[in-house]
Amino acid sequence: MMKKRFLTTILAITAAGTLLAGCGSKTAAPTAAPTEKATEKAADQTTEKAAEETTKQAEAAEDVTLKVFSNLPDRKNGQGLVEQMIIDEYMAQNPNVKITVEALDEEAYKTKFKAYAMDGMPDVVSIWGQPAFLDEVLNAGVLAELNTGDYADYKFVEGSLEGFKKDGKLYGLPRNTDVAVIYYNQKMFDDNGWKIPETYNELLTMASDIKAAGLIPMAMDGGDGWPMAIFMSDLVNKINGSTIETVANAVQNGDFTAPEFKEATELMRTAAEAGLFQDGYDSQDYGTAMNLFTNGQAAMFYMGSWESSMALNEDIPEEVRTNIRVFTMPVVEGGKGQKHDIAAWNGGGYAVSADSKVKEEAIKFLNYMYQPDKLSKYGWENGVGMSAQDQSQYMTGNETELQMQIVEIVNAATSLSGTPINDCGPSAFKACIESEIQSVTNGTSTVDGFLDVIGKACK
């Protein structure tokens, strides 16, 4: 493999990089090799395009307004802050460009994105390089094709672009390397003598101890459905040792009756019944779950590595903020997945609208964001998790311990799960599983009923 291009910190990702490719039938095929070819092919086109661009720029010093549609409403912390910093910088450097941002919460964002996709989108948009989000969007041709050759020097982690491609053409760029983690409050753990669980059963045993201490074991954003779907994917990964093919097959055949899905669903349900999650987790949103954790009400919080900027968020009480640490889903007894087979994927990213009237400028801005010293560097400096680009040179030594832990987790990873289950099928499947997963964990529907319904939704 082509490890030479990648520096030590992300070796693990590199090795597992090809695994990160999406899991749908359409995106499962490409591996790292075609990427390279596409790059070469695109190389000569690049020069032409570059020439074209310069002439265009010369004549177009007129005012341009770029509309950015973002899923990061918090512009003062974490990723939203980073995005806003780059936007401000870009506007300062290009006085003729005005960038307006419309930012919505993840769920509201996805809904509105689909509404936009019907007729006319903002110029630069947040996207997810996953079949559930991207397949239909790409089929409709609403995203602009990007020139793969442009990004040869951008140090994207190998394989990270795959989810954003269709028929070898690139339509978006990944922002993060996401890892599903369990944040925990170290001080709380130490004070009570709780230890990081090695197995799933230990996790459940510990949950009852935590409950007995009058605290919430794990805060879960169950109201949205997708975090629980990630939790389930995480378990499938631990049971089966890998997820991509199993899920791809299940989605393609509309059949989720395989034992690993059944076991994962049952395990998750057991956890809910044992009180691992807070009361009413299945109706509480992202903010509520996170606040339970950041205000010291919950000992753990199941979420993606993108929330590692919690460690620097001054709205969070210092006592909690400085004590946040992570571990990953413990192994399942009898499962094939080992400790370092983690749930990770390249999810969120950006794209440019195909019918944008200022496409050139939008792509220019997109490329600007992805210059390695922008999103990656600023993100890293602001405590955000790992980007999808090589970040090793931006290590400052001032990283939060939380950040370093996540880097270690990724470095130590023996395999990465790829796209979470809910994002592997069509939107109808996603909508279905994210709602039904609430019913199955809270006991309203049976495990078999759940697997049957989500299977049908694939067709």
Partner 1 sequence: MKKLYSNKLVIASLILPGILVFVFAILAPICLSIYYGFTDYSGMGTATVIGFENYSKLMQDKIFWKSLWHSALLAIGFICIQHPLAMIVAAVLDKLQGKAEGFFRCVYFIPNVISVAVIAYLWKFIYNPDFGLLNNVLKALGYTGKINWFDSKIAIWSVLVVLIWHGFGWGMLIYYTGIKNIDPVLYEAAAIDGANNRQTFISVTLPQMKSVIQVNVTMAIISALKQMETVYLLTNGGPGNSTQFTANYLYQQAFKAFKYGYGNAISVVFILICIAVTILLNIIFSEKGKAV
Partner 2 sequence: MRAEKRKLTPGRVLLWAVLIAVAVIQIFPLIWLLNFSLASSNEMFTSGLLIIPKKIQWGNYVKAFVDGHFLQYLKNSVLINGLAVIFVIIISIMAAYACHRMKWKLSSMVKTILLLGMMIPIHATLLPNYKIYNMLKLTDTIWALLIPYIAFSLPQAIFLMTSFLDSVPIELEEAAVVDGCGIYRILVQIVTPMLKPSIATVSIMTFLNNWNEFMMASTYLSSPKWKTLPFSVLEFTGQYSSNYAVQFAVMALTAAPAVIVYIILNKHITKGVAMGAVKG
Residue 294 binds partner 2, judged by CB under 8 A: yes
* CA-based torsion, 18, 22, 23, 25: positive or negative: negative
- Name all contacts of 397-405 with Cβ < 8 Å and 24+ positions apart: 400/308, 400/311, 400/312, 401/311, 401/325, 402/308, 402/310, 402/311, 402/324, 402/325, 402/326, 403/308, 403/311, 405/325, 405/326
Distance CA 174, CA 163 (A): 8
Residue 284 binds partner 2, judged by CB under 8 A: no
Distance CA 459, CA 433 (A): 13
Among 141, 168, 317, 443, binds partner 2 (CB under 8 A): 317
- Looking at the Cβ atoms of 317 and 443, the one nearer to partner 2 is 317
Place of tokens 């832990």: 405
Q: Point out which residues pair with 65 in neighbouring strands.
A: 98
Residue 283 binds partner 2, judged by CB under 8 A: no
Among 292, 352, 366, 458, binds partner 1 (CB under 8 A): 292
* Nearest distance from C-beta of residue 446 to partner 1, angstroms: 12
Residue 213 binds partner 2, judged by CB under 8 A: no
Alpha-helix runs per DSSP H in 256-300: 259-273, 286-294
- Looking at the Cβ atoms of 32 and 117, the one nearer to partner 1 is 117
One-letter identity of residue 97: V
Which one of partner 2, partner 1, none interacts with residue 286, CB within 5 to 8 A by kind?
A: partner 2
Report 59-88 residues binding partner 2 (CB under 8 A): 67, 69, 73-77
Among 79, 294, 405, 438, binds partner 1 (CB under 8 A): 438
* Nearest distance from C-beta of residue 108 to partner 1, angstroms: 10
- DSSP per position, 372-430: TTTHHHHHHHTT---BSB--GGG--S---HHHHHHHHHHHH-SEE--S-GGGSS-HHHH
Residue 118 binds partner 2, judged by CB under 8 A: yes
Residue 29, Cβ density class (10 Å: 0-12 exposed, 13-18 middle, ≥19 buried): exposed
Specify the 3-state DSSP secondary structure of 302: strand
Among 26, 112, 262, 456, binds partner 1 (CB under 8 A): 112
Q: From residue 169 to residue 208, what is the string marking binding to partner 2 with x (rule CB under 8 A)?
A: ----------------------------------------
Residue 335 binds partner 1, judged by CB under 8 A: no
For residue 201, the tally of other CB atoms under 10 A from its CB is 15
Residue 422 binds partner 1, judged by CB under 8 A: no
Q: In this structure, what token pair is assigned to residue 252?
A: 């393609």
Place of tokens 């989108």: 121
Q: Are 241 and 336 in contact (CB under 8 A)?
A: yes
Residue 136 binds partner 2, judged by CB under 8 A: no
* Nearest distance from C-beta of residue 41 to partner 1, angstroms: 28
Q: Are 409 and 328 in contact (CB under 8 A)?
A: yes
One-letter identity of residue 387: S
CA 237, chain centre distance (Å):
16
Report 220-279 residues binding partner 1 (CB under 8 A): 222-223, 225, 278-279
Residue 354 binds partner 1, judged by CB under 8 A: no
Options 194-202, 300-308, 384-392, 427-435: segment touching partner 1 (CB under 8 A): 427-435
Among 122, 174, 347, 425, binds partner 2 (CB under 8 A): 122
Residue 114 binds partner 1, judged by CB under 8 A: yes
* Nearest distance from C-beta of residue 171 to partner 1, angstroms: 14
Options 195-203, 309-317, 345-353, 417-425: segment touching partner 2 (CB under 8 A): 309-317
Element containing residue 216 per DSSP (H, E) = strand 216-219
Residue 9 binds partner 1, judged by CB under 8 A: no
Q: Are 148 and 272 in contact (CB under 8 A)?
A: no
Options 188-196, 252-260, 300-308, 420-428: segment touching partner 1 (CB under 8 A): 420-428
Distance CA 198, CA 218 (A): 16
Closest CA to 324 of 179, 176, 194, 188: 188
Inter-CA distances, 258 with 251, 281, 329, 364, Å: 12, 27, 21, 46
- Looking at the Cβ atoms of 149 and 425, the one nearer to partner 1 is 425
Among 31, 249, 288, 322, binds partner 1 (CB under 8 A): 288
Residue 167 binds partner 1, judged by CB under 8 A: no
Contact residues for partner 1 (CB under 8 A)?
107, 110-112, 114-115, 117-118, 136-137, 139-142, 216, 222-223, 225, 278-280, 282-285, 288, 292, 297, 426-428, 430-432, 435-440, 442, 444-445
Which residues of the chain form contacts with partner 2 (CB under 8 A)?
Answer: 67, 69, 73-77, 100, 102-105, 108, 112, 115-116, 118-120, 122, 285-287, 290-291, 294-297, 310, 313, 315-317
